[in-house]
Amino acid sequence: MFLTVLAGTPSAWADLPLLPGQAITTHFSGIENNTSQPFLQGKVLSVLDIRDPVANSAPFALPGPTNWTVPRYQHTSWDATTLGEVFGLALDTSKAQPDIYLASSSSMYFRDTAFNMTPGSLANGYGGVFKIDGVSGAASLLANLPSATFNNGFTRYAGLAQIAANPTGRTLYVANYEDGKIYVLNMDTGATVETFDHGTQAASPTIADDGTAGFTQLGRRVSAVQYHPQEQRLYYSVWAVDGNKIWSVPVASNGATNGAARFELSYTSGAWAGSSNAVITDIAFSKDGQRMLAGEMPVVDGSYMRSSHYTSGVEWVGSGGGWTLNNSLEGGNGTIPVGLFNNKINAAGSVAYGYNNYGTNAGASEPCEDSFVLMGDALYFPAPFIYGLQITPLTGSTTATLGQDDYIVDLENSTGGNENNDKSGLGDVEVLSGCVPPVTPKGNLTISKAVAGGTDPQTFNIQLDCSDNSFDNNAITLTAGATHTVSNIPAGTTCTVTETTPSAPSGYSYSAPVITPAQPVTIVANSTVAVSVLNQMTAKMADIEVNKVVDKPKVNSGDVVTYTITVKNNGPDNATGIEVTDQLPSGVTYKPTYNASQGTYSSATGIWSVGSLTNGTTATLTIQATVN
């Protein structure tokens, strides 16, 4: 009888909660008696105490090779019977005792040694999102996302890909291989806040899910997700036909997406050839948000058959819209060699930034993050067959020096021949950082409304459009003399103020708004940017010219005379409410007819109600009377 279990007997190290510097990992449960079934009693989640290897006299990988045997912890409920197989990990770092979140995944562990996938008792299928209590370790089902079985010789599920946490917005982001959507979940209740569909909301041309059970189409298949708190954007990788694409989408204060997605970069490693794809399945950000680390998982074909020995870690530096490969790493080209086997391209698709692994930071630029923590197979091969975590200085290593200042940790704390089966069982890794994220400086924006030239009770509609979309507001209303203040806008944010000018009171007009300073404005740290919106109110002026002529200068009794009155607006403004009063003289009797080009005439009062005349226009009235 042969049994492979990627999680052995837990050491007597400790219990939860997680401590800064510790790693938490997912992994395959193992194979039951060389059958095509997972070992349901096998553990799928472990905490590894990789803190402070210097103080703990941990050996470097070389000379040796030497495995660093570390203490670890596994809760009784962290098995395949309860959870099924899981891959993606996220932490609620807003809590002193962080809760752990997991995403169901059968596809991440499907290799040439294939098996029928059995869901755990907590979930219905492989769409389960689980919450691990940060104190007790107990597992519970938070949400169950769409998941369907398909068969290619074995019972399979596409399952979920990755999961990321936004503790400030109290949301989780879960990528679903089944339909390609990113599910935004309330991390406390599991309720779906919204779904984001890259295929229909960002891809060009759009790619709608075809509804087939199993993996959604390439080009809309999202793999990695990660939240960038400084930019307040959700980053995600798309497994396309021609390589990896990384996109991002802005996120509002409630955690929901808020605006159009932005293309960030393309990355195609040398392993992306023919049927071999190097898929980005994990993204991590440094605490200052200026470094982005990605892990690639080798995949043999479009149905997600996992492979090995094609990929490395990859790091970029910069910020949104301007990421460049970190060529300051010792290996160059932004790549991080993984594993001591072959060409040292043994990355297994999961990465994290480490904390307190080198004591003096090994020359790192980060204030307290001092290492890359990468999942890798064949960290050493052949014997002693080490598969698990590689801890590397932030400066990186060359393929020649790899191992001389790196630590390698076998995931099950044992080495031996059975390790050959662990390469398809390596999961995700997260490290609880003790770094305090740098506080983004904030500033304020005050908008003041002014009207010159009169007293004005009108309400003006003001619009605010910022590069950080969470501060956009199209519903600001101000009256003359009022102000509106927006607080705690990240420094460096650009904002533009505009106005929709209402109609002026009768008899007045408004000038176009004068907005100072020139727009857009940039928010300054610990300061208030003042924007003034001024309209000039001017009384309307119109020169009205009135002329009257009679057709007969001399008349006899019984004659009919015609009076013609002409009104002209000589401007400069349009005129409204024009009235002309002209009583007939004595000695004539009004004939009950008149002809007006506009308006009405009353013979009783002699008032011609002309109405409105635009600048330069004329109105005419003719009246007839009989001479007595």
In SS3 terms, 31-49 reads as ECCCCCCECCCCECEEEEC
Domain boundary among 521, 539, 557: 539
Q: Which of 480, 515, 539 is the last residue of a domain?
A: 539
Label residue 586 by pLDDT band (50, 70, 90).
confident
> Going edge to edge, which strands form the sheet with 160-166?
160-166, 171-176, 181-186, 192-197
> At residue 336, does pLDDT exceed 90?
yes
DSSP state of 520: S
- Residue 448, judged by CB atoms within 10 A of its CB (0-12, 13-18, 19+), counts as middle
The first and second tokens of residue 140, run together, are 């519970």
Determine contact, residues 429/284, Cβ cutoff 8 Å: no
Instruction: Say yes or no: 152 and 288 in one domain.
Output: yes
Tokens of 56: 């703990």
Regarding whether 552 and 529 lie in a shared domain, the answer is: no
User: Is residue 1 assigned to a domain?
Assistant: no
Name the residue range of residue 73's domain.
Answer: 23-431
| Domain co-membership, 177 together with 267 | yes
Segment 576-597 shows an average pLDDT of 88
Longest dimension (CA), the chain: 138
The answer to the question of residue 600 being in a domain is yes
Residues 108 and 86: beta-carbon distance below 8 Å: no
Are 65 and 113 within one domain? Answer: yes
* Number of domains the chain contains: 3
Q: Does residue 607 sit in the same domain as residue 465?
A: no
**Domain containing residue 304: CATH number:** 2.120.10.30
In a domain, 14, yes or no: no
The pLDDT of residue 2 is above 60: no
Percent of the chain beyond pLDDT 90?
Answer: 54
Q: Please indicate, yes or no, whether residues 328 and 253 belong to a single structural domain of this protein.
A: yes
**Does one domain contain both 201 and 64?**
yes
Tokens representing 384?
Answer: 């002693």
pLDDT of 132 > 80? The answer is yes
Residues 501 and 572 in one domain: no
Query: Which range (230-239, 404-413, 436-445) has the least confidence?
Result: 436-445
pLDDT tens for each residue of 65-85:
899 999 989 999 999 999 999
In this predicted structure, the answer to whether residue 36 has a pLDDT above a threshold of 80 is no
The per-residue pLDDT for range 317-327, each reduced to its tens digit, is 998 789 999 99
Q: Which of 1-10, 66-75, 336-345, 376-385 has the lowest mean pLDDT?
A: 1-10
- Give a yes or no: residue 7 inside a domain: no
Which of 31-35, 83-87, 541-545 is predicted with the least confidence, judged by mean pLDDT? Answer: 31-35
Task: Rank 15-24, 114-123, 204-213 by mean pLDDT and report only the highest.
Answer: 204-213
Looking at residue 70, its pLDDT comes to 93
- Banded model confidence at residue 9, pLDDT cuts 50, 70, 90: very low
Whether pTM exceeds 0.85:
no
What is the pLDDT of the chain when averaged over all its residues? 87
| Euclidean distance between CA atoms 25 and 45, whole angstroms | 6
Whether residues 309 and 451 fall in one domain: no
pLDDT tens per residue, range 462-499: 999 998 877 889 999 999 999 999 998 988 899 999 99
Confidence of residue 545 (pLDDT cuts 50, 70, 90): very high
DSSP state of 103: E
pLDDT at 112 over 50: no
Asked if the model's pLDDT at residue 12 lies above 50, the reply is no
The answer to whether residue 16 sits within a structural domain is no
Position 188 confidence tier, pLDDT thresholds 50, 70, 90: very high
Inside any domain, residue 437: no
Residues 454 and 363 in one domain: no
The residue out of 539, 557, 583 marking a domain boundary is 539
Residue 35 shares a structural domain with residue 134: yes
Q: How far apart are CA 578 and CA 599, in angstroms?
A: 10
600-602, strands of its sheet edge to edge: 575-581, 607-613, 600-602
* The pair of three-digit structure tokens given for residue 553, joined into one six-digit string: 């200068």
Range scoring the smallest mean pLDDT among 24-28, 304-308, 429-433, 512-516: 304-308
How far apart are alpha carbons 346 and 348 in whole angstroms? Answer: 6
Instruction: Let me know whether 205 and 243 are in one domain.
Output: yes
Q: Give the domain CATH number at 597.
A: 2.60.40.1170
Residue 159 has pLDDT above 80, yes or no: yes
Asked whether residue 3 is assigned to any structural domain, the reply reads no
How high is the pLDDT of residue 34?
A: 65
* Residue 479 belongs to domain with CATH number: 2.60.40.1140
Q: What is the mean pLDDT of residues 268-296?
A: 84
User: Is residue 509 in some structural domain?
Assistant: yes
